[in-house]
């Protein structure tokens, strides 16, 4: 029997523990390292703008075009629809009018009556020989069963799922298409915040006693052709075939000035954030913001507080207790303190989920589209917003906002201070993931 010498090393009793520890450390370090290489921890840049021209100064729109990559175009306003019944009826009517093509891009769909009616209208048109192309976000439409898409493709529609999970680029899954657009024959476009879901009829499970607050805008003219191009861009990026022979010449003398801001999914800079910041800094009388998910970053909050301090009427219309993402609401409410203290009005819609997205600046500028006021819309999603100086559209939005305020509760600072500790805990937890909200 050999004896261990005095100087020989002691073997650890449980070497597997050492390996387990090392393995766990590697499991933590490797993803962190990959996130680091991807720039996930980079410091966000604050856009430091000064002396932004007023809305009356024609340099304002030129600066919007340049700084926020906004394309100028024209259109004619053909509809402003409020609420699920009007919005879905307008979409079905537009689909039935199509002669040549229907292109639809959206983030969110769920099974139900609205989705079935939508499919039935598309199937009828595809069967008639109309080109039907659907580009749906793979994540946001994940609850729709395969046989739904199968029925559409059997009828001749083309369906593409935007950004399916790819294990070779897992982080890409964070960037979604959040655009919402329906283009008919390249001549007509409907743009609003609604997905295709019975949720918009009101969901008693989340406390809704009315349909969701939402609107949609319809245009004809050159804007439709431009939007067809944006649709085809993502279609091509997603691997779809683009046949430009189908693009029709525009038959229109529409002259409503419109500016299209396109946000590409990325982890760095944001045309949408630039658009909002420029607009807020140009405001002299009012900044009225509507957004279900209102998670302002520090520069946005500072810009709104500065505006309030120079005498601008700053109001935010957002979701109240009836909402589909309580954790986002609580996280959002954790950020309200300095805004309320500065006198910004934050009003929570009461009857149901408030889902409309808009910004009204003075009486001369408005922006609507798919973008929420949150980091997800700023930095992670594909978004499309339409801004305008067109008075009739601004008046529609003005009336929409005023009427929604009548059914909203505007928070006071002391109410906000006395929110429950359970809400605070959930909100602070949500804020840990603020950059992804």
Ligand X SMILES: O=P(O)(O)OC[C@H](O)CO
Binding region for ligand X (CB under 6 A): 107-108, 178, 195, 199, 292, 324, 372
Burial level of 282, CB count in 10 A (0-12/13-18/19+)? buried
Beta carbons within 8 Å of 360's beta carbon, 6+ residues apart: 286, 287, 288, 289, 366, 394, 397, 398, 401
Question: CA 137 to CA 164: how far, in whole Å?
Answer: 8
Closest to ligand X by CB, 108 vs 162, is 108
- Residue 376 Cβ, how far from ligand X at the closest point, in Å? 8
Closest to ligand X by CB, 186 vs 290, is 290
- Residue 194 Cβ, how far from ligand X at the closest point, in Å? 8
Closest to ligand X by CB, 55 vs 114, is 114
DSSP 8-state class, residue 268? S
Query: What pairing do the DSSP bridges indicate for beta strands 101-106 and 358-361?
Result: unpaired
- Residue 353 Cβ, how far from ligand X at the closest point, in Å? 7
| Bridge partners, residue 368, by sequence | 358, 386
C-beta of residue 112 within 8 angstroms of C-beta of residue 144:
no
Closest to ligand X by CB, 178 vs 315, is 178
Closest to ligand X by CB, 139 vs 409, is 139
Closest to ligand X by CB, 199 vs 228, is 199
Query: Can you give the three-state secondary structure of 94-136, one letter per residue?
Result: HHHHCCCEEEEEECCECCCHHHHHHHHHHHHHHHCCCEEEEEE
Closest to ligand X by CB, 114 vs 178, is 178
- Residue 70 Cβ, how far from ligand X at the closest point, in Å? 21
What is the phi/psi pair of residue 267, to 5°? -100, 5
**Which of 147, 193, 139, 131 lies closest to 163, judged by CA?**
139
Q: Find the largest Cα–Cα distance for the chain.
A: 103
- Residue 205 Cβ, how far from ligand X at the closest point, in Å? 12
What is the phi/psi pair of residue 319, to 5°? -70, 150
Closest to ligand X by CB, 132 vs 328, is 328
Closest to ligand X by CB, 115 vs 126, is 115
Distances (CA, A) of 70 to 63, 130, 235, 251: 9, 31, 21, 23
- Residue 118 Cβ, how far from ligand X at the closest point, in Å? 16
Q: What is the DSSP string of 363-382?
A: TTEEEEES--BSHIIIIISB
- Residue 36 Cβ, how far from ligand X at the closest point, in Å? 28
- Residue 106 Cβ, how far from ligand X at the closest point, in Å? 8
- Residue 149 Cβ, how far from ligand X at the closest point, in Å? 20
Question: CA 383 to CA 290: how far, in whole Å?
Answer: 16
């Amino acid at each position: 029997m050999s004896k261990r010498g005095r100087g020989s090393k002691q073997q650890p009793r449980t070497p597997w523990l050492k390996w387990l520890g090392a393995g766990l450390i590697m499991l933590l370090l490797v993803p962190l390292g990959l996130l680091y290489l991807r720039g996930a921890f980079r410091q966000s840049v604050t856009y430091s703008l000064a002396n932004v021209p007023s809305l009356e100064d024609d340099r304002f729109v030129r600066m919007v075009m340049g700084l926020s990559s906004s394309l100028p175009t024209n259109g004619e306003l053909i509809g402003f629809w409020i609420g699920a019944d009007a919005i879905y009826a307008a979409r079905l009517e537009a689909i039935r009018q199509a002669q040549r093509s229907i292109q639809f891009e959206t983030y969110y769909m769920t099974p139900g009556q609205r989705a079935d009616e939508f499919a039935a209208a598309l199937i009828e048109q595809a069967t008639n020989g109309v080109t039907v192309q659907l580009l749906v976000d793979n994540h946001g439409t994940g609850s729709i069963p395969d046989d739904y898409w199968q029925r559409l493709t059997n009828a001749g529609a083309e369906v593409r799922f935007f950004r399916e999970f790819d294990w070779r680029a897992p982080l890409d899954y964070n960037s979604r298409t959040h655009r919402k657009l329906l283009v008919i024959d390249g001549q007509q476009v409907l743009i609003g915040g609604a997905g295709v879901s019975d949720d918009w009829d009101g969901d008693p499970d989340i406390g809704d006693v009315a349909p969701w607050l939402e609107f949609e805008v319809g245009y004809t003219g050159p804007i439709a052709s431009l939007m067809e191009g944006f649709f085809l861009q993502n279609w091509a990026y997603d691997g779809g075939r683009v046949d430009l022979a189908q693009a029709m010449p525009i038959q229109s003398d529409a002259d409503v000035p419109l500016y299209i801001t396109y946000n590409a999914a990325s982890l760095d800079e944001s045309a949408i954030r630039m658009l909002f910041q420029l607009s807020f800094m140009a405001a002299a009388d009012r900044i009225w913001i509507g957004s279900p998910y209102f998670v302002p970053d520090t520069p946005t909050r500072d810009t709104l507080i500065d505006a309030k301090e120079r005498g601008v009427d700053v109001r935010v219309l957002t979701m109240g207790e009836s909402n589909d993402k309580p954790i986002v609401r609580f996280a959002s409410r954790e950020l309200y303190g300095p805004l309320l203290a500065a006198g910004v009005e934050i009003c929570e819609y009461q009857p149901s989920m408030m889902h409309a997205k808009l910004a009204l600046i003075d009486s001369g500028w408005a922006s609507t589209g798919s973008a929420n006021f949150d980091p997800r819309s700023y930095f992670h999603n594909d978004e499309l917003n339409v801004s305008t100086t067109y008075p009739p559209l601004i008046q529609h939005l003005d009336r929409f906002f005023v009427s929604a305020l009548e059914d909203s509760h505007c928070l006071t600072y002391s109410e906000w201070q006395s929110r429950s500790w359970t809400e605070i805990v959930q909100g602070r937890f949500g804020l840990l993931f603020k950059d992804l909200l």
